[in-house]
């Protein structure tokens, strides 16, 4: 592992470096990553790469905290420490039980599979318009024109964001998530401006929801109570930021990654087109294959042994979901894109108490997009190289030129 630096974002600029994690799972499944010139805070961290160890840690929220640990003023789910009381402990995904569980319980009914069935027809109509527009172009940026568009429209609808504002929100989220022009843990004038504009927009929108509530998630958050007390203004604002980013960014990358895999295997496209009963399993394989969130960090709250290594209280511990999704001990022939793979216990949505709240929404969006493409599109082929985001936290796609042929 000499010279390995997972905080050097250039290593991720052309997609996730699966071969590095193959070596880690084989030789050092729980490995201490020393600090390098690129590592935020000059502090090393643990890298957990094997499926079984990741599941064990993710399932033990008391030992592996999403919020922080002894001796730390900050914490969170990124390699870099985020301020306690601003991000760590305030963002839903950087919060521990019992508040995390109570906060999550407020939102669960609106995002449960039953709720998704009530909006599926609307999502399908939107998908049909999106796909028809892309097919009319013939050659398009599949990421922008198809993969990003339905998740963006859906999250705007669920949050009560005017549809005409949705692309502004996407630009702000992209600026804060992509590290095209900066190192890990750094910000630029562009990212600071995007964050400030998004914060101002969210604050104004939440104020309107407090005055005129509607049947959307932001109105729910604006009027919710936990233990009889309203959510703080900062909690509401951070929830808005989180749902915009998570609701638009991760699913679009799973859709793009799934289409990229299908273009590499035209026979799989034909099989699904001829037998739609394969589509649910194919969607799960796209999620495993693309792993839109490569890792999440936890912080050890006590000394613990994991994978034969002793992790000390306060240590940073990174759980690499993307590596687990290529673990041959769990997924036979893990580097084969298998649209009929069963079982497929992938970790694209995480595991444990922080299992992705929007998993049902993501699955429905992917299903209706690909079902619509299968109805209307004969084939797709690359029209240029795929361009990835420069990030170790998001397996993102910036551009994906494709040539679409209608049926």
**pLDDT value at residue 344:** 98
Least confident of 179-183, 222-226, 269-273: 179-183
Burial of 124 (0-12, 13-18, 19+ CB in 10 A): middle
What the chain holds in terms of domains, given with CATH numbers, is 92-296+327-402 (1.10.630.10)
Residues 173-178: what's their mean pLDDT? 81
| 159 touches 217 (CB < 8 A) | yes
Per-residue model confidence (pLDDT) at position 173: 83
3-state helix, strand, coil split of the chain in percent (to 5) is 50, 15, 35
Phi-psi region of 372 (alpha: psi -120 to 50; beta: other; left: phi over 0): alpha
> With pLDDT > 90 as the criterion, what percentage of the chain qualifies?
88
Average confidence score pLDDT of the chain: 95
Segment 21-40 shows an average pLDDT of 97
Angle between helix axes 359-376 and 149-159 (nearest 10 degrees) is 140
Binned at pLDDT 50, 70 and 90, residue 298 comes out as: very high
pLDDT computed for residue 1 by the predictor: 78
Residue 131 has pLDDT above 80, yes or no: yes
pLDDT band at 184 (very low <50, low <70, confident <90, very high): confident
Distance CA 66, CA 58 (A): 10
Residue 218, pLDDT score: 94
Q: Is the peptide bond before 73 cis (omega within 30 degrees of 0)?
A: no
Provide the pLDDT for residue 248. Answer: 82
My answer on whether omega of the bond before 372 falls inside 30° of 0, hence cis, is no
- Contact call for residues 327 and 25 (beta carbons, < 8 A): yes
At 302-337, the pLDDT tens digits run 999 999 999 999 999 999 999 999 999 999 999 999
pLDDT above 80: residue 381: yes
The residue-averaged pLDDT of 49-55 equals: 98
Q: Which residues pair with 32 in a beta bridge?
A: 46
State pLDDT tens for residues 79-129: 999 999 989 999 999 999 999 999 999 999 999 999 999 999 999 999 999
- Decide if pLDDT at 181 tops 80: no
For range 376-391, the mean pLDDT = 95
């Amino acid at each position: 592992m000499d010279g390995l630096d997972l905080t050097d974002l250039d290593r991720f600029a052309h997609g996730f470096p699966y071969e590095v994690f193959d070596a880690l799972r084989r030789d050092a499944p729980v490995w201490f990553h020393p600090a390098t010139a690129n590592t935020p805070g000059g502090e090393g961290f643990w890298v957990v790469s094997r499926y079984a160890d990741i599941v064990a840690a993710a399932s033990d929220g008391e030992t592996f905290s999403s919020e922080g640990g002894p001796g730390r003023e900050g914490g969170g789910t990124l390699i870099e420490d985020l301020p306690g009381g601003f991000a760590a402990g305030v963002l839903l995904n950087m919060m521990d039980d019992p508040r995390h569980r109570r906060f999550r319980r407020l939102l669960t009914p609106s995002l449960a599979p039953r709720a998704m069935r009530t909006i599926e027809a609307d999502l399908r109509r939107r998908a049909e318009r999106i796909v028809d527009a892309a097919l009319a172009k013939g050659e398009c940026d599949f990421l922008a024109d198809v993969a990003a568009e339905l998740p963006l429209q859906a999250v705007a609808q669920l949050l009560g964001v005017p549809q005409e504002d949705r692309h502004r929100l996407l630009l702000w989220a992209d600026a804060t998530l992509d590290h095209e022009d900066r190192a890990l843990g750094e910000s630029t004038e562009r990212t600071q401006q995007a964050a400030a504009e998004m914060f101002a927009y969210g604050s104004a929108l939440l104020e309107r929801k407090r005055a005129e509530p509607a049947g959307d998630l932001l109105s729910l958050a604006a009027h919710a109570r936990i233990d009889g007390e309203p959510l703080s203004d900062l909690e509401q604002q951070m929830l808005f930021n989180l749902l915009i980013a998570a609701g638009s960014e991760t699913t679009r990358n799973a859709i793009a990654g799934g289409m990229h895999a299908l273009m590499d295997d035209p026979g799989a496209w034909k099989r699904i087109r001829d037998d739609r009963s394969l589509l649910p399993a194919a969607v799960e394989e796209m999620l495993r294959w693309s792993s839109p969130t490569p890792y999440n960090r936890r912080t050890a709250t006590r000394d613990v042994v994991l994978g034969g290594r002793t992790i000390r209280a306060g240590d940073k511990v990174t759980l690499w979901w993307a590596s687990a999704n290529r673990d041959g001990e769990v997924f036979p022939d893990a580097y084969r894109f298998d649209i009929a793979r069963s079982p497929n216990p992938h970790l694209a949505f995480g595991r444990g108490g922080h299992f992705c709240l929007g998993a049902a929404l993501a699955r429905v969006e992917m299903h209706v997009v690909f079902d619509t493409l299968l109805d209307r599109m004969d084939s797709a082929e690359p029209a240029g190289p795929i361009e990835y985001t420069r990030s170790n936290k998001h397996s993102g796609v910036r551009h994906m030129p494709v040539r679409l042929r209608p049926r």
